Amino acid sequence: MADRPDRDEITRAAAEVAEGMHNVAELVAPIDEHALGYRRKLERDGWSATAAEAMAVELHHQLLAQAFGGRR
């Protein structure tokens, strides 16, 4: 059975996870902003908030899949 990590190892691991999450957030921010702008444009163009949100979510998913090599 593996030894339990000590407090320093846990602290280092937590810092690495936090840094990784921050890096992902920076990568995804332009996609988030683009999808939000698309939703707002659709609403200005007369689409309902529900329809605009659904289309923006689909765009968001497509862009994330393209950015990170996934398929949709």
Quote the domain boundaries for residue 56. Answer: 7-67
Residues 43-72 have a mean pLDDT of 93
Instruction: Please list, in sequence order, all residues whose beta carbon lies within 8 angstroms of the beta carbon of residue 36, skipping any fewer than 6 positions away.
Output: 56
pLDDT for residue 3 is more than 80 = yes
pLDDT for residue 71 is more than 80 = no
- Determine, yes or no, domain membership for 1: no
pLDDT tens-digit map of 9-47? 999 999 999 999 999 999 999 999 999 999 999 999 999
| Res 1: pLDDT | 55
- In whole angstroms, give the CA distance from residue 69 to residue 33: 20
pLDDT for residue 65 is more than 70 = yes
User: What's the gap between Cα 53 and its chain centre?
Assistant: 16
- Determine, yes or no, domain membership for 29: yes
Q: Is 44 exposed, middle or buried (0-12, 13-18, 19+ CB in 10 A)?
A: exposed
- Determine, yes or no, domain membership for 33: yes
- Determine, yes or no, domain membership for 72: no
- Determine, yes or no, domain membership for 39: yes
Domain count, the chain: 1
